[in-house]
Structure 1
Amino acid sequence: MRVIGLMSGTSYDAIDAAAADLRFEGDELVLQPLGMLSRPYSPSLRSLLAAALPPASTSLAAVTELDTGVGQAFAEVAAQAVEQLCGGAADLIVSHGQTVFHWVDSGVVRGTLQLGQPAWIAEATGTTVVSDLRSRDVAAGGQGAPLVSLFDVLWLRGRTGTPVALNLGGIANITVVPPGGDPVAFDTGPANALIDAVVGELTAGRLAFDADGVMAGRGRVHSELFDRLLSEPYYARPAPKSTGKELFHLAYLADRMQGLPEIAPDDVVATVTALTARTVADAVKSHGGTEVIAAGGGIRNPALMHRLAWELGEVPLLNTDDLGLPSPAKESYAFAVLGFLTLHGLAGTVPSCTGARHASVLGSITPGRGGLPQTPAATFPTSLRLT
């Protein structure tokens, strides 16, 4: 089955599409990558998103406009992916949508909202769409995140030691796959969320992110600000747990900087970069990780990766490309897998990773023009193999 996964992360800079041929072979799920593409949000839509995201307030009119605008943008990327990656015909499209709010109350996730009306995708492509993948896990008492943990567990189970999958998006999350034990997954804290926000603010919008880690590389970590940031209670909370830009944003950083003398822009960027590296490394070490396999936009930041390697010490730091999976497309492929499982009536969560009461079949289905694809009966796979 040819499946397209669509993803836009908490950095909301672009929509990624990855196509895969997915099939069951015995108790294995086999994934053959067919390629990926990425398209930036239009400046106007990105501005609308930025104006509506926490800690800003918004209106139902703005939410409706975003739901339509994001849905149409996803539809354009989906149509392009069908033609360029699938030869004009896909069996299924899986859309994560754009997260705009993750409602956490005293450590309990009460709701999560991803915009991008899937009807636009189904209408533009004629293809069945699976969307809104997080809400069912939340309804079952889970965090709704990190949903990629099932992909990580199926893929990394059986590797020597305790492998840790790391995603460095707007928020950093890990999946720990111990031998013979229950896997664990959680958001470790900010990755690009604070870095991008600081760079945009300090350069008056001239830069959207720290390209090639230049600013962090020039700067020095401000020890007092670093200590203040590390005192955030979230880091000490046990897993499973999840967070987002609802907590880690510019106003949050400004509050931690109160009373400090003026800090050079490069030093601020270096400090928040070091914060990501330290909190990720602490999380990996606390769970006995023996190797880290990273993906996400953060791996393109040499300053962050160098600092993370230093913080990890003797724990090897790899990326998914080293194991045969294109790192920019990892999350899109993961959501393609989750939607594929949904269409077969199979659960897409690991309760020990999300904290849910039970595993759940995820998402809502929007039929294509020909109705739902016919799928043969299948049993839940025990592993994932790339080919």
Structure 2
Amino acid sequence: MRVIGLMSGTSYDAIDAAAADLRLEGDTIVLTPLGLLSRPYPDHLRRELAGSLPPATTSLEQVCRLDTGIGQAFAAAAGQAVEQLCGGHADLIVSHGQTVFHWVDGDQVRGTLQLGQPAWIAEATGSTVVSDLRSRDVAAGGQGAPLVSIIDVLWLRGRPGTPVALNLGGIANITVIRDEPIAFDTGPANALADAVVQELTGGRASFDADGVMAGRGTIHPELFERLLVEPYYGRPAPKSTGKELFHLGYLAHAMDGLPEIAPDDLVATVTALTARTVADAVHAYGGTEVIAAGGGIRNPALMHRLAEELGDGVPLRSTDELGLPSVAKEAYAFAVLGFLTVNGLGGTVPSCTGARHASLLGSITPGVGPMPLQSPPAVAPVKLRLN
């Protein structure tokens, strides 16, 4: 089955479209990557999105406008991927959409909202679309995140020791591969650094390119200690978070009463926070190696700091070294999740999301032809192999 996964993360800088050929061979899902393209959001849409996210207030009119605009942007990325990566036809498109709110109440997730109306994708491509993949897990008592954990478990199970899969997007999350796997958001990855850079540059830059600012700066010890006492870090897993907590106002509150901090030092401090909180989470669960993906791995300052925090006994490598393009991992993961759905297979690991049971994920929007729905196979997959 030819499947396209569409993903835009909490950094909302672009829409990634990853195409794959997916098939079942006994108890194994075989994934053959067909390529990736990345399509930036139109500037006006990105501005509207940024201006509507927490802690900003918004209106139902703006939510509707965003749902349409994001859906059309995803449809454009999907159409391009169908033509350039799939030779003009895809059996299935799986859209994560754009997370605009993740409703966390204490230790429980009450709801999660991803915008990007899938009808635009189905209309533009003629393909069946699976979307809204997080809500079913939330309804089953789960966090709705990190959904990539099932792919981590299927792919990395069997490696020696206790491997840990890490994603460094706006928020950082890990999956610890062990007899009973566990997964959770560790805290901010790029969220705070991105917010600082955008504020300091008046929006001319959206992130610390190549980690230049963090590399030049010095960690501010008092601010660093203030940030580390955030109660979220001490909560038990499974747990999830987002920019509803880690945003510019949160950082400004932590800086209250401190002397002015140089821009480079501020970026260095929040970058060090990411490295420390990720490493603390890895050490807490006995991780023996970290296999990283996401935009954060392109930040040398962050990766250097993280390697130092992990120590020599816990090697840090990227998914590229194992054959999966790191920039496309999440998009490929959602392609697999949609593939599981149309094959009647659950897409979650309850010990990772905290749900009462595994669930079939997502809602299905028909394309122009028969929907690619299959009866569940006699043997449920327990492995994922890259071809």
> Which residue of the other structure, out of 191, 213, 230, is the alignment partner of 1:215?
213
Q: Deviations over 1:321-368 (max 9, x none)?
A: 000000000000000000000001100000000000000000000011
State the AA in 2 paired with 1:159.
Answer: R
> Which residue of the other structure, out of 215, 231, 234, is the alignment partner of 2:232?
234
Do 2:192 and 2:270's aligned partners in 1 also have CA atoms closer than 8 Å? Answer: yes
Task: Find the counterpart in structure 2 of residue 310 from structure 1.
Answer: 308
State the shift of 1:107 in Å. Answer: 1.5
Do 2:70 and 2:98's aligned partners in 1 also have CA atoms closer than 8 Å? Answer: yes
Task: Find the counterpart in structure 2 of residue 253 from structure 1.
Answer: 251
What is the rounded CA distance, in whole Å, between the counterparts of 2:225 and 2:234 in structure 1? 14
Q: Does 1:196 align with 2:194?
A: yes
What is the rounded CA distance, in whole Å, between the counterparts of 1:352 and 1:375 in structure 2? 27
State the shift of 1:150 in Å. Answer: 0.2
State the shift of 1:376 in Å. Answer: 5.1
3-state SS of 1:54 partner: coil
3-state SS of 2:164 partner: strand
Task: Find the counterpart in structure 2 of residue 322 from structure 1.
Answer: 321
Runs of 4+ in 1 over 3 A off after TM superposition: none
State the shift of 1:206 in Å. Answer: 2.3
Task: Find the counterpart in structure 2 of residue 81 from structure 1.
Answer: 81
Q: Equivalent residues in 2 for 1:123-162 (5 A)?
A: 123-162=123-162
Task: Find the counterpart in structure 2 of residue 331 from structure 1.
Answer: 330
Tell me the TM-score normalised to structure 1 length. 0.99
3-state SS of 2:359 partner: coil
What is the rounded CA distance, in whole Å, between the counterparts of 1:287 and 1:120 in structure 2? 43
| Percent identity between the two aligned chains | 80
3-state SS of 2:173 partner: strand
State the AA in 2 paired with 1:72.
Answer: Q
What is the rounded CA distance, in whole Å, between the counterparts of 2:367 and 2:321 in structure 1? 37
3-state SS of 1:141 partner: coil
Long gaps (5+) in structure 2: none
Q: How many residues align?
A: 385
Q: Does 1:279 align with 2:293?
A: no
Q: Deviations over 1:92-149 (max 9, x none)?
A: 0000000000000011100000000000000000000000000000000000000000
State the shift of 1:215 in Å. Answer: 0.2
What is the rounded CA distance, in whole Å, between the counterparts of 2:225 and 2:174 in structure 1? 23
State the AA in 1 paired with 2:265.
Answer: D
Do 2:292 and 2:316's aligned partners in 1 also have CA atoms closer than 8 Å? Answer: yes
State the shift of 1:204 in Å. Answer: 2.0
State the AA in 1 paired with 2:331.
Answer: S
* Pair 1:189–1:183, CA change in 2 (3 A): same
Q: Does 1:19 align with 2:19?
A: yes
Tell me the TM-score normalised to structure 2 length. 0.99
What is the rounded CA distance, in whole Å, between the counterparts of 1:238 and 1:376 in structure 2? 37
State the AA in 2 paired with 1:282.
Answer: D
CA RMSD of aligned residues (A): 0.7
3-state SS of 2:265 partner: helix
What is the rounded CA distance, in whole Å, between the counterparts of 1:51 and 1:206 in structure 2? 15
State the AA in 2 paired with 1:78.
Answer: A
Task: Find the counterpart in structure 2 of residue 364 from structure 1.
Answer: 363
Long gaps (5+) in structure 1: none
Task: Find the counterpart in structure 2 of residue 288 from structure 1.
Answer: 286
3-state SS of 2:203 partner: coil
3-state SS of 1:4 partner: strand
Q: Deviations over 1:227-264 (max 9, x none)?
A: 00000000000100000000000000000000001110
What is the rounded CA distance, in whole Å, between the counterparts of 2:129 and 2:186 in structure 1? 31
